[in-house]
Amino acid sequence: MMLGALRGDRDDVLRRVVGLVVLIAGTIFAAVNASGLGEVDRLTAGIVTVLAGSAITLGFAVGPPVTASVDPLDPRRFAVVGPEPRPLAGALLVAGFLSVPVLAVLVLAISVAIAWSEQGVGVFATVASIVLGLTTCVLLARVSMALGALVKRPRQSRELAGVYLVAVLVVVVPVAVFLGSLEWRGTVPTQLVSAAEVLAWTPVGAAWGIALAPTPGAAVGSAVVAVATVAVLTAVWFVLVRILLTTTPRPVAVRERGGLGWFALLPGTPGGAVAARSLSYWLRDRRYLVNIVVVPIAAVLSMVPLVVAGVPIEVAALLPVPIMALFFGWLPHNDLAYDSTALWMHIASGVRGLSDRIGRLVPVLLIGLPILAVSIPLAIVAHGRWAFLPALIGVCAALFLSGLGLSSISSVVAPYAVSRPGDSPFQQPQRTGSGGVLAQGLVMLGSLLAASPALWFAGRALASDTEDAVVALWAGVAAGVIVLVVGVAVGAALFERRGTRLMEFAEAT
C-alpha cells in the first residue's frame, strides 16, 4: 500500500512525493536539533521532550479527521474474506506501525534516546518511554480513523470543514498566545514547567515523561498513566473493529443530501434535527447575527469607563470576557419567540422537550465556546498573571453554563414578542406588560448568583492568594454544570406541558 501511493494519477503522485520530501526534510531537521537535548540541563530536556511528544501524539489523534484521511487499513476492506474480529484487529494494529508518520516519529525517538543517554537515563526507561509513546500514537490513529469510518460522509461539507477549522483555532490560538507571552530570562519559565508537569500525567504526554521525570515517583506515575492509556485504547480498538465488521454502512446519496447542510452533518435524531435547524437560523438570520456581533463589541467597550475612572488596564482587561460569557448564556432566553409560527413543527411532530432544549443550545455552544476559548488567553496576557487563568475559566464557565440552563426555562415560561423573520433586527414590536423585561433580568440575575462563589474566590485570587484560583475554577464549573443540567431538565418538562400555550403565543405574535 505504501508503494501503491506512488502510482496512479500524475498530479496525485506529485503531491504525495512533495509531501514525502517535506516530511523527510522536517524529520531530519528535527532529529538533528533533538540531539542537542543532551547538552542542556535535565529539567529543560524533560520539558522539551514532554511538550514535543504531547504535540506529536495529539497530532495522531486529530490529524485523520481534520485532513479527511482515508484509512488504507479500514477493517471493512477485509470483510469479504470473513475474518474473525479479534485476529484482524491484532494484525491491523501491528500493521499500523508500518506507516510513514510512525517511521518518522521512530527516527525522532531514536535521536532523542541518544540525547537521553547523555543525561544518564537508563536503558529500561528509554525503551519503555519510546515503546509506549509509539504505541499510543498508533492506537490513537487507529481509533480516530475507525471512529471516522463509522460516521464518515460521502463528501466533506462546508459545515464540517468549518467545524474542523474552529476546532483547530480553539487549540492553536490559546497555545500560541501562551507561548508568545512567556518571558525567557536565561531559565525556563515557570508556566512552561507547570504545563509540562501536567501533560506528563495525561494520556498524550505520560509516555514521554517517563525517561526524564524529576523524581522516581513521577516516573512511576507517568508509566502507570501511559500503560493504562495503551490498555484502554487497545480495548476500544478491538471493540471498534468488531462493530465495523458486524454493521452495514447506511447508503447515502450524495445528490439527495448534498444541499441539506447541517441536516446532512448532524445525527438523524429529533435533537439533531432541532440543532440543525437552529444552526441554520443562527448563521443566516440577521436577528441572530446581530446578537453574535454585538456581544463581543459591547464587552470590549465596557473597559472604557473603567480605564477612564482610573482602574489599571491589567485589571480592566479581565472584565470583557466574563461579560461575553454572561451574554452568550443569556442569548437563548427567548429563542422560541424567534421561531415565530415555525414553532408548530416542533409541537405537531411531538418532539420531546429534552430534544428541543438540547438542540437549541447547540448553536450557542458552537459559537460561544470558541470565542471564549480564544478570548480568555488574550485577557490573561493583557492581565499579565497566568496563575489567574483557572479563576477566569471558572467564572466564565459559571456565567455561561448557568445562563444556558436558566435560558432553557425562561424561553418556555416567559417568551415575549420579537421582530418577525425578515424584519430588521433593530425593529422591536410593541409589548404589553413587563414579562419580557422580567425574564431578561431574572436570567442575568440568576447567572450572577450561580457564579457568585466563583466570583468570590476569583476576587481573592486577584488580590493575593493564587491558590484560590483553582478553587474558583472548580466552584464555577460545578455551579455551571448543575444549573445547566437542572435548567435543561425543567425546561424540557415545561415544554411538553405548555405546548398549547406556546403555539397560541406564536400565532398571536
pLDDT digits (tens, 9 = 90+) for 26-56: 777 776 666 666 666 777 777 778 888 888 8
What the block records as the C-alpha cell of 171 is 487549540
Q: What is the mean pLDDT of residues 385-392?
A: 83
Assign 187 to helix, strand or coil: coil
What grid cell was written down for 426?
433593530
- Which pLDDT belongs to residue 81? 78
Counted residue by residue, the chain has a size of 509
**What's 267's DSSP letter?**
-
Cβ atoms of 119 and 37 within 8 Å: the answer is: yes
> Confidence band (pLDDT; 50, 70, 90) for 402?
very high
- Spatial neighbors of 14 by CB under 8 A, at least 6 apart, are none
| pLDDT at position 249 | 58
Is residue 329 predicted with pLDDT exceeding 50?
yes
Q: What pLDDT sits at residue 490?
A: 93
Whole-number pLDDT of residue 348: 74
Res 395: pLDDT: 94
454-470 per-position pLDDT tens digit: 999 998 888 876 678 88
Q: Which residue has the higher pLDDT, 398 or 374?
A: 398
Amino acid identity of 311?
V
Percent of the chain residues past pLDDT 90, beyond the cut: 15
Q: Is pLDDT above 50 for 253?
A: no
Give the N- to C-terminal CA distance of the chain in Å, as an integer: 63
For the entire predicted model, the pTM comes to: 0.68
Residue 429: its pLDDT value, please?
Answer: 63
Structure-derived torsion over alpha carbons of residues 182, 188, 194, 196, reported in degrees to the nearest 10? 100
- List, in sequence order, the alpha helices (H) in 68-183: 85-95, 100-118, 123-151, 158-180
Q: Which of 323-337 are b and which e, b meaning 16 or more Cβ less than 10 Å from the residue's Cβ?
A: bbbbbbbbbbbbbbb
Backbone angles phi, psi at 185, to 5 degrees: -120, 50
CA trace torsion 377, 465, 205, 114 (10° rounding): 110
pLDDT at 160 (0 to 100): 59
Instruction: Please determine, for residue 2, whether its predicted confidence score (pLDDT) is greater than 90.
Output: no
Those residues whose C-beta lies under 8 Å from the C-beta of residue 203, and which sit 6 or more positions away, are 136, 225, 226, 229
Question: 175 or 330: which carries more pLDDT confidence?
Answer: 330
Higher pLDDT, 179 or 356: 356
Report how far residue 439's alpha carbon sits from residue 414's, in angstroms, rounded to the nearest whole number: 6
Q: What are phi and psi of 98, to 5 degrees?
A: -100, 70
Cβ-contact 446, 409 below 8 angstroms: no
Rounded to the nearest 5°, which phi and psi values hold at 417?
-65, 140
- pLDDT exceeds cutoff 50 at 154: no
220-233: average pLDDT? 90
C-beta separation of 339 from 506 below 8 A: yes
Average pLDDT over residues 299-319: 84
**What span, in angstroms and rounded, lies between the C-alpha atoms of 484 and 471?**
20
Summary mean pLDDT of the chain: 79
Which residues are within 8 A (CB) of 222 and not within 5 positions of it... i.e. 6 or more apart? 200, 201, 206, 207, 209, 210, 213
Cα separation, 216 vs 207, whole angstroms = 14
* Alpha carbon distances (Å) from 214 to 45, 137, 187: 11, 24, 17
Task: Please tell me the predicted confidence (pLDDT) of residue 257.
Answer: 47
